Structure 1
Amino acid sequence: MRIVIIDPSGFTPPYDHCLATALAHQGCRVVLATTRMLMGPWAQDTIYERWEHFYRISSRLTHTKIRTYLKGCEHPFDMGRLLRRLRHWKPDVIHFQWIPIPIVDRLFLREFRKMAPLILTVHDTEPFQGTPSSRLQLIGLLPAFRCFDHYIVHTQYSKEMLTRQLSLPEHYVSVIPHGVFAYYRELTSGLGAQKHALEWAKKRKILFFGTIKPYKGVDVLLKAFARLPKSVLKESVLQIVGYPKMPIEPLQSLARCLGIEDQVFWDLRYIGEAEVASYFYQADVVVLPYRRIDQSGVLAIAFAFEKPVIATRVGGFVETIKDGVYGLLVEPENAESLAQALLRVLDDDELRQRIAIAVKNLATNQLSWESIAKQTVHLYQEILKGRRS
């Protein structure tokens, strides 16, 4: 079976890589059509083809506004070139991960659909979590979504949201979970955290990781951390790690006002793959205090390191974490509840060990990429069977 996975802007490269690799292990011939980017060591010597097809000019620029504008100009030409290229390659299934410019993509999707079944993985039922890099990314979104033969989401919550938004029959949407990014364990070297490892060596580490945006609730986490008993605060450090896409000074000012400035470590930049592994390896607990979410790649990394996760009771977290089994769930916007969950995890060694064992079993079974690839291949086969009939 010949499968092309399309992620024009490279929004989810680790996911794309893991899915492409797992499908190739199932005997599929796989192409990943994406853009030029710096790839981590995990993407070396791949067993699938990789086409750096999109944004060959803008991907080399560093100025954000100019790059965004130029990408918009390049996109229709790149979609046209891909259409011609795939007519020659003759895929059995065309599997999009993202449609970055729906009003343009819609014009091409109809032609792609004549060639092979079109599948879309909807990672976020609220596109771009409400913060697109350009308004253009939202224009014509729903009509573009309706161009697909089938949809994949990661949780039942997302399925219910999508079927409601698009008025779809349920059998048009399949739930296939988000796999655990187990390859991060192979990248652990400790080098990425050396500059502050000694300073925090004996501290209990609470980790918030990922792009910092308003919906992720860092302000609530700061308030919760400040509510911990002084004896616990003295022995703990809150690590806020990731590139900010919002003003960061109000959050740092909040930390000062709460009197926890010396217990909060900020690493506000793009974090390389090895450093990501180091942060998660050293963490005692990972916190996801989001206000809304479908599913999270950060959760997939935390599970790879068998770390207890404290998350808010929103979106797909409820299904994946299962309160008290693979982590703890708290109500969103509730700093007191979050503080109590933090205290419980930090003080209870037996709880942490029990969660680690449960998460390891989950990661090697239901959330393994082998399991996910088998489900995906089965879906492809069913869609092809339906198309032929």
Structure 2
Amino acid sequence: MKALMLVSELEDYTISFANGVAQHLQVALAVPHRRYANLASAFDPAVDLHLLDWPRHRSLANPWFLHQLTRLIRNERPNVIHLLSNSTLWLNFAAPFWRPIPLVTTVHDVDVHPGDSDTRKLPAWAPQLMVRQSGHVVVHGEGLKQLVLERYSKSPDRVHVLSHPAIHRYAELARHHKMARGPADGTLRVLLFGRIFAYKGLEHLVRAEAMLKDQLPNLRITVAGRGDDPWIFQPLMGETGRYDIRNRFIEDMEVAQLFLDADMVVLPYTEASQSGVLNLAAAFGKPVIVTDVGELRATVLPNGLGMVVRPGDVEQLASAIRTLADNSELRSSFGTSALAWATGPNSPEQVGAQAAAVYREVVGACE
């Protein structure tokens, strides 16, 4: 069996997912050259990687690109096509020409996150139309499955739950380069990583830090990632020297060092579906503090990855940080469980096996 995967972004997810599935069946992956050329070495050799001149969604070159892409699909003759995201506008117009090959689409977020200016550039109808055109849909949790069932009136046997696989490439990069944690200086490092938009809850973390300035004088908050300017919360920061703000794109080696140095990773989100950051932190064996939104509770608690607090509850967030700060054994226990989860049931290989089973079910239903 061969699966042909298409995606225009989501590099970390795509690398983990494609590498995992390639352990169980043939995988061809078509992605934009501009985003993936420098990442080609991160793919397992079993992945048949096609780096395409994939235009941006406002480009007039898209019709010709779709023609070329359809030719590629016909040449590859896959048993199933899997769109790893429903956020590529132009694929809506090509999908009808791929029939009768069954089409599967992964929906990472049923609704656009508040303040997510990247995703809002796409017309609202585009991701919805792609879901409606797809015979089968993949989501990353039972709660998200229910949302899709309600939103799109899909049959339950056509909506499949596959976990977001652990993201190992940064931890592997750290091992390859023999990177080590920075020297112990008594500092407790809390990391908020990723695109810094409103729903990421930075304001709540800043307010929690202010509550801890006397109890945890050695606390240091690192905020790393592009997006909204974190310094808009400067009036709420007690001492700016307790913050390490990196409001920009973070290169791979720097990502690895940030996670090596972190004592805990916080996800104080006010809204979310799931989180790639959670899956990255697990690969480093880092404990997490997350809010009870989307699939985060259902992922963190059963697997012993860390602590869960109410979204927007600054006092509870501060208390959780204090608890982990004061208890190195608890941090270690959560971290050990996280690494076991990332290399075991949520490893790319295990998620890939589940995906392969979904593909066989989808193809079997079409025969």
TM-score by length of 1: 0.86
Which stretches in structure 2 are left out of the alignment for 5+ residues? none
> Which 10-residue stretch deviates more, 22-31 or 328-337?
22-31
Pair 1:41–1:353, CA change in 2 (3 A): farther
1:252 to 226, 229, 234: 234
Pair 1:271–1:135, CA change in 2 (3 A): closer
Q: 1:165, CA displacement in angstroms?
A: 1.0
Q: 1:323, CA displacement in angstroms?
A: 7.3
**Cα distance in 2, alignment partners of residues 138 and 179 from structure 1:** 27
Kept after mapping to 2: 8 A contact 1:207/1:283 = yes
The amino acid that maps onto 1:50 is L
Partner of 2:14: 16
Kept after mapping to 1: 8 A contact 2:19/2:43 = no
The 5 Å alignment of 1:18-97 reads 18-37=16-35, 39-40=38-39, 43=42, 46-55=45-54, 69-70=58-59, 73-97=60-84
Pair 1:372–1:179, CA change in 2 (3 A): same
The 5 Å alignment of 1:1-389 reads 1-8=1-8, 10=9, 12-37=10-35, 39-40=38-39, 43=42, 46-55=45-54, 69-70=58-59, 73-102=60-89, 104-112=90-98, 114-127=99-112, 131-132=117-118, 135-188=121-174, 201-232=185-216, 234-244=217-227, 246-255=228-237, 259-322=238-301, 325-388=304-367
Pair 1:262–1:136, CA change in 2 (3 A): closer
Q: 1:201, CA displacement in angstroms?
A: 4.0
**Cα distance in 1, alignment partners of residues 189 and 325 from structure 2:** 9
Which stretches in structure 1 are left out of the alignment for 5+ residues? 59-67
The amino acid that maps onto 1:110 is P
Kept after mapping to 1: 8 A contact 2:30/2:52 = no
> Which 10-residue stretch deviates more, 128-137 or 345-354?
128-137
TM-score by length of 2: 0.91
Pair 1:263–1:16, CA change in 2 (3 A): same
Pair 1:268–1:18, CA change in 2 (3 A): same
Pair 1:222–1:383, CA change in 2 (3 A): same
Pair 1:265–1:157, CA change in 2 (3 A): same
Kept after mapping to 1: 8 A contact 2:188/2:220 = yes
The amino acid that maps onto 1:254 is L
Q: 1:80, CA displacement in angstroms?
A: 2.3
**Cα distance in 1, alignment partners of residues 295 and 30 from structure 2:** 27
Pair 1:197–1:351, CA change in 2 (3 A): closer
Kept after mapping to 2: 8 A contact 1:191/1:274 = no
> Which 10-residue stretch deviates more, 266-275 or 331-340?
266-275
Pair 1:3–1:348, CA change in 2 (3 A): same
Q: 1:42, CA displacement in angstroms?
A: 5.3
**Cα distance in 2, alignment partners of residues 382 and 144 from structure 1:** 21
Pair 1:363–1:116, CA change in 2 (3 A): same
**Cα distance in 2, alignment partners of residues 360 and 324 from structure 1:** 10
The amino acid that maps onto 1:202 is G
Pair 1:184–1:140, CA change in 2 (3 A): closer
Between 1 and 2, higher relative CO (CA 8 Å, sep ≥ 6) is seen in 2
Per the alignment, in what secondary structure is the counterpart of residue 269 of structure 1?
coil
Q: 1:101, CA displacement in angstroms?
A: 4.3
> Which 10-residue stretch deviates more, 18-27 or 291-300?
18-27
Q: 1:84, CA displacement in angstroms?
A: 1.8
The amino acid that maps onto 1:371 is Q
Paired residues in the alignment total 365
Q: Percent identity?
A: 26
Kept after mapping to 2: 8 A contact 1:23/1:30 = no
Q: 1:133, CA displacement in angstroms?
A: 5.0
Pair 1:268–1:201, CA change in 2 (3 A): farther
> Which 10-residue stretch deviates more, 125-134 or 306-315?
125-134
